[in-house]
Amino acid sequence: MSPHFRTVTDDNPADGDAWVRAVSAGFLSPPESNPRGLAQRRERLDVPGSRPRGAFEGDRCVATLRSFDQRLTVVGGREVAANAISAVTVLATHRRRGLLRRMMTDDLAEARERGDVAATLVATEYPIYGRFGFGAASTFTAWRVDASRSGLDPKWSLPANEGSLTFVDGAEVRKVGPELHERFRRGQPGAVDRSEQVWQLRTGALWFGPDPWVEPFHVLYRDPAGVPQGLATFATDNAWREGLPEGTASVRSLLATSPAVEALLWRFLLSIDWVVTVDSGRTPPDSVLPLILPNPRAARIREQADHLWLRPLDLPALLGARSYATEGELVLDVRDPLGLAEGRYLLTASPEGGLAVPTTREPDLTLPTNALAGLYLGDESAARLVAAGLADEGTTRAASRADLLFRTGRRPWCPDIF
Ligand SMILES: CC(=O)SCCNC(=O)CCNC(=O)[C@H](O)C(C)(C)COP(=O)(O)OP(=O)(O)OC[C@H]1O[C@@H](n2cnc3c(N)ncnc32)[C@H](O)[C@@H]1OP(=O)(O)O
């Protein structure tokens, strides 16, 4: 039977339930049997700007993909309209027959048509999305820190004139978190906006896990004027051995509006009595964490990998949205495996912004959309792309000139998995 591809709409709840079941099966998770859980998950699909689509055989859903409207911060603090892609699954019984290809190409073509500037996703496996024009645009690093070897002063506590640290509950996080996050993300290339649902999911107000929700600790930092500037969420295992504490604090999220606030929150986490190890969770690749320790070797990398994937859809709008490190010109010849965003553009760049116009001039750099994704947010260097054979230099020192323009002081980072 050849599947029928359709968008799941709220006027057909049976489609919605079948879609939700297919997502669980596709991610090898236990099926949702509770009717209330099914209804809640289905309701998540109905939010404005959410586009769940599926492949159906009769009433049965065999493949899923959901895209939704997203705002992505680019270098210089501006943001672009992105088509975020999530919940990509194909039942194991239906894999490698082109179902993902069909859903992805339909979704990207519609996003381009709508005027979205780029598409984003977080990939489960690296090899899946390059063929669709996506490239890794940001990474994360997860650290394990041995608090006793860090060299930090064990008597540390926040001086009273430097603000306050307070344990808060999930309800308070839902109240103050969104505004704090908005300020954070404006200064962080690679960060994306968060819906109210994400805050509910992160604080247990909405919870789909098989086990009961266990409230983590939330610690809010307010500056001396009382303004929230940082929020750390973590869980502890409370482990002891032979009368000695062996606890690990596992950080689920750490948001800070400046590196100084980030440093303060790490210091706090590393000072908690009974906690001897801090698992940092996914930190920015250039987190201040190891450098603020008198002994940075007390922090070991547990994991370092790609995180946000980016796919240009509108090259002039994308190149025009960010700011550049200096003034200069560069001709980019961009190739696109799906033909959605290719062409040769003359980029006139400056710290104020960029302008990309079609040109017939000889290209300085020829590269596919997935290589441009790495370069665009400042995570990758053109010289490295050329060295790896992922971009071609058409003129003398083109890669060095590109790096002078695209380089950034801080690396991009996205704290969200979506
Ligand atoms: C953003 C997110 O949601 S990430 C989540 C991704 N989902 C998962 O990891 C869940 C488990 N996996 C799956 O559900 C499926 O295997 C999917 C969705 C990854 C792939 O679906 P399929 O329908 O099998 O893909 P489809 O047949 O359209 O393949 C398209 C191409 O991608 C390739 N491909 C698909 N999956 C993979 C993979 N995991 N690794 C390498 N190549 C892959 C295919 O070989 C094919 O290559 P071709 O164009 O050269 O012929």
**Long-range contacts of 381-387, Cβ-Cβ distance < 8 Å, separation of 24 or more:** 381/406, 381/407, 382/406
Gap between the Cα atoms of 221 and 397, Å rounded: 47
Does the beta carbon of 125 lie inside 6 Å of ligand 1? Answer: yes
Residue 415 domain-assigned (yes or no) = no
* Domain identity same for 158 and 298: yes
Contact by Cβ (8 Å): 72, 120: yes
Contact predicate 299/305, CB 8 Å: no
Nearest CA to ligand 1 atom 32: 128
**Looking at residue 62, what is its pLDDT?**
98
CATH of the domain at 36: 3.40.630.30
Backbone angles phi, psi at 379, to 5 degrees: -85, -25
pLDDT at 279: 98
Q: Which atom of ligand 1 is nearest to the CA of 122?
A: 1
Does the annotation list 101 as a binding residue? yes
Cα atoms in the 13 Å half-sphere on the side-chain side of 208: 22
Ligand 1 centroid distance, CA of 93 (Å): 13
Task: Say if 69 falls within a structural domain.
Answer: yes
Assess contact for 329 and 404: CB atoms under 8 A: no
The answer to whether 89 is annotated as binding is: yes
> Which of helix, strand or coil describes residue 33?
coil
Residues recognised as catalytic:
129, 418
Are 105 and 148 in the same domain? no
Which residues are CB-contacts of 52 (< 8 A; sequence separation ≥ 6)?
7, 8, 16, 19, 45, 64, 65, 66, 87
Is 384 inside a domain boundary? yes
Q: Kindly give, in sequence order, each residue whose CB lies less than 8 Å from that of residue 113, ignoring residues fewer than 6 positions away.
A: none
Q: Are strands 275-283 and 247-256 parallel, antiparallel or unpaired?
A: parallel
Find the domain containing 347 and state its range. 314-406
> Side-chain half-sphere of 304: how many Cα atoms within 13 Å?
9
Alpha helices in 46-169 (DSSP H): 99-114
- Residues comprising the chain, all counted: 418
Alpha carbons 255 and 199: distance in angstroms, whole number? 13
Residue 124 annotated as lining a ligand binding site: yes
Q: Are 213 and 253 found together in one domain?
A: yes
Predicted pLDDT at 248: 98
Give the rounded distance of the alpha carbon of 193 from its chain centre. Answer: 10
Domain membership of residue 22 (yes or no) is yes
State whether 292 and 318 are in the same domain.
no
In a domain, 148, yes or no: yes
Q: Based on the domain organization, do 299 and 333 belong to the same domain?
A: no
C-alpha pair distances (Å), 133 with each of 112, 149, 353: 13, 44, 25
Is 68 inside a domain boundary? Answer: yes
CA of 57 to the centre of ligand 1 (A): 19
Collect all residues with Cβ–Cβ distance below 8 Å to 127 and sequence separation of at least 6: none
352 and 299 in a common domain: no
Co-location of 222 and 252 in the same domain = yes
Nearest to 261 by CA among 286, 231, 238: 231
Residue that is written with structure tokens 């010109």 in the block: 329
State the distance from the centre of ligand 1 to the C-alpha of 96, rounded, in angstroms: 7
**β-strands 365-368, 392-393 pairing:** antiparallel
Domain boundary (304, 335, 364) is at 304
Residue to mutate (ligand 1; options 86, 97, 100; most atoms within 8 A of CB) = 100
Using an 8 Å Cβ cutoff, are 124 and 418 in contact?
no
Strand partners for 349 = 328, 354
List phi, psi (to 5°) of 77. Answer: 95, -5
Task: State if residue 92 touches ligand 1 by the CB under 6 angstroms criterion.
Answer: no
Q: Is the CB of 100 under 6 A from ligand 1?
A: yes
In this structure, the answer to whether residues 111 and 200 fall within a common structural domain is no
Q: What angle do CA 371, 333, 351 make, to 5 degrees?
A: 75
d(CA 233, CA 254) in angstroms, rounded, equals 6
pLDDT at residue 143 in the model: 98
Residue nearest to atom 12 of ligand 1 (CA): 89
Return the amino acid letter for 225.
Answer: A
At residue 210, the pLDDT reads: 75
Q: What is the CATH number of the domain that holds 386?
A: 3.30.1050.10
269, 304, 339 - which closes a domain: 304
Examine residue 252 and state whether it is found in any structural domain, yes or no. Answer: yes
Q: Which atom of ligand 1 is nearest to the CA of 99?
A: 23
Ligand 1 site, residue 26, Cβ cutoff 6 A? yes
Q: Is the CB of 88 under 6 A from ligand 1?
A: yes
In a domain, 240, yes or no: yes
229 and 170, same domain (yes or no): yes
Rounded to the nearest angstrom, the distance between the alpha carbon of 128 and the centre of ligand 1 is: 5
Please identify, among 116, 132, 161, the residue that sits at the C-terminal boundary of a domain: 116
Q: So what's the pLDDT on residue 43? A: 80
214 and 144 belong to one structural domain: yes
Same domain, yes or no: 158 and 212: yes
89 lines ligand 1 (CB under 6 A): yes
| Claim to verify: residue 232 and residue 361 sit in the same structural domain | no
What's the domain count of the chain?
Answer: 3
* Tokens 């987190």, residue located: 287
Which of these, 156, 141, 167, 143, lies nearest to 270 by C-alpha position? 156
Over the chain (418 residues), the average pLDDT of each successive run of 10 is 92 92 93 80 83 96 98 98 98 97 98 98 98 98 98 94 98 98 98 95 88 94 98 97 97 98 98 97 97 98 98 98 98 98 98 98 98 98 98 98 97 98
